[in-house]
A and B are shown apart, each in its own frame.
Chain A
Amino acid sequence: MKGFTSNKTPYLFIAPAVILLILFSILPIFIALIISFTDIDLAGLADWSAISFVGLQNYKDIFADPVFIKSIYNTLFYVIFGVPLVIICSLGIALLINFGKSPIFKMFRVIFYMPSITNVVAIAVVWSYLYNPQFGLFNYILKLLHLPTIPWLQDPTMAKVSLIILALWRAIGVNMIIFLAALQGIPKEYYEAAQIDGANGWKQLTKITIPLLRYAIFFVSITTMIGWLQFFEEPFIMTKGGPLDSTTSVALFIYQNGFEFSKFGYAAAGSFILFIAIIIVTLVQFRLQNKEGHY
């Protein structure tokens, strides 16, 4: 390949993609940072002279904004309940599928994966119907079982839980596949050796499988956590953040301020706070992972 060092060919191959990425991913980071210190809004969009630097005012305002504080609380709620649920359910299903030998278990892979490829808008519309207090299937089934009905999307706390159930349903597929891929990479000899030593099933799970899945669990927990921090579509379509802002996530707050109220600078400040939170969470997770790796 020596002959091509000074050639412009490679640049022609990478140029379209790299230019698009710089224009729509790298450059926007800097623009976001700059406009988060300005009061740019719809008026400023038409006339740049209407924009002025306001320093840290957006950041001061946003931390005094009760809706923003609430959206942080809601997002933490999603993360704290959502991440463990996604890991436990997708790992549990992966273990079950991996256990089976007959071809029918391959079919289960497909069924559990299906929700994650389908359109989120369509799915949110369908679940709104299922959750409907009068005509919804879920409350009908509860009534059949003589159980009290649930105000799925009407009660502030229950609405958050309802959105988590839906998002969990969508998240299982991809993560289950990642766990399955990792499970298939564990050499059978480990289990055979453990069985000779008389280790029971629970011991094998906790002493062999889980430790060897550590990297997959780390990967899933980090991507899931970042996903929950950016939780947006479900509350946006199903509840619009209500009732009483109880389902507004930070991402939805940014969207609403940016594109519904056209407060671009203010929303950019919110987006930077989210960005920094994501970076911190990722770094902390990597730290924890490294510590764990040592013993």
Chain B
Amino acid sequence: MKTAKSQSTYFWGKGKSEQWIAGIALAIGGVLISIPFIWMILSAFKTESEVMQIPPTLWPDQLTLENFVYLFENMNFALYLKNTIIVVLCSFVGLFLNAMAGYGFAKFQFKGKEKLFYLVLATMMIPGQVTMIPVYLILNEMHLTNTMAGIVLPGLVGAFSIFLFRQFMSTIPDELLEAARLDGANEFRVFTQIVLPICKPILAVQGILTFIAGWNSFLWPLIIANDESLYTLSVALSLLKGQYGGNFALQMAGSTFMVVPIIIVFLFFQKHIIESYTISGMK
């Protein structure tokens, strides 16, 4: 592809023309990358017949909101949206638990600390396919299949998040915490009123990533929820594809409804997300 050529332009001097070539190559790549998004959003506003028209239209002939209305009136999308929001909110509880664990590992000495921390890190290497079936069996024993608790519990905490919190929190000076303790604050207050506010940058990044992950959660809700009243948007959309396979306008509306909120959140916070990679030391 174009990459081989562009790699060499990078190093054949740093002149204006090379900058232009790189810019044009990236612009072409950027358009190619964006096509699925553009096509999805524009098709969502087309009528069912227009979407199957040959030759296809780029801009909808007659802009219609019919598809979105259909999703909410006939497909229960309001309910799936509510479920998805519940999943997202619960995942923020998980984020709080991760922060607590990160604090515990960063700022305390206790018996078994090293071993427990390695245990936490080890869970990062376990593939989802191995735990999928046993976790289902465990939840079945706990009578939590087909419940919201069953959907959220297994993914509530994550080792990588705990690791990042620990890294960040170990830079907080001990004196600051001691001072708060001397003032009579209990341990939980020290955590919520001193530590968490200091952690705002990393909380922000992880908060956004948690939101995105919760919003997109698919496989686990699909496995554990048989009852339609517990479906998340992702699950509903995959079923929509099965049932309304021929109606692409409706499918594009469903996809747009899932993707656009994420894109908006991302565009607002993209600077923080992208820069967190540099901060977290992935080099």
Contact = CB atoms under 8 A, between A and B. Distances in A.
Answer yes or no: are A and B bound together in one complex.
yes
Interface in A199-226: 200-205, 209, 215-216, 219, 226
Contacts, number: 328
Interface string B224-240: 00000000011101101
A80 interface: no
Interface string B97-140: 11011011101111001001001101101111111111111101
B73 to A, nearest CB: 20
Interface residues of A, number: 111
A17 to B, nearest CB: 4
A32 interface: yes
Contacts of A50: none
A161 interface: no
B178 to A, nearest CB: 9
B138 A31 contact: yes
B8 A35 contact: no
B1 to A, nearest CB: 7
A135 B56 contact: yes
B36 A271 contact: no
B62 to A, nearest CB: 18
A278 B128 CA distance: 12
Contact of B3 (A92, A120, A200): A92
B25 to A, nearest CB: 6
Interface stretch (A54-62, A95-103, A147-155): A95-103
Interface of A: 1-2, 4-5, 7, 9-14, 16-18, 20-29, 31-32, 35, 40, 45, 88-89, 91-93, 95-102, 104-105, 108-115, 117-130, 132, 134-135, 137, 140, 169, 172, 177-178, 180-182, 184-185, 200-205, 209, 215-216, 219, 226, 229-230, 232-233, 237, 250-251, 254-255, 258-259, 264, 267-268, 271-272, 274-275, 278, 282
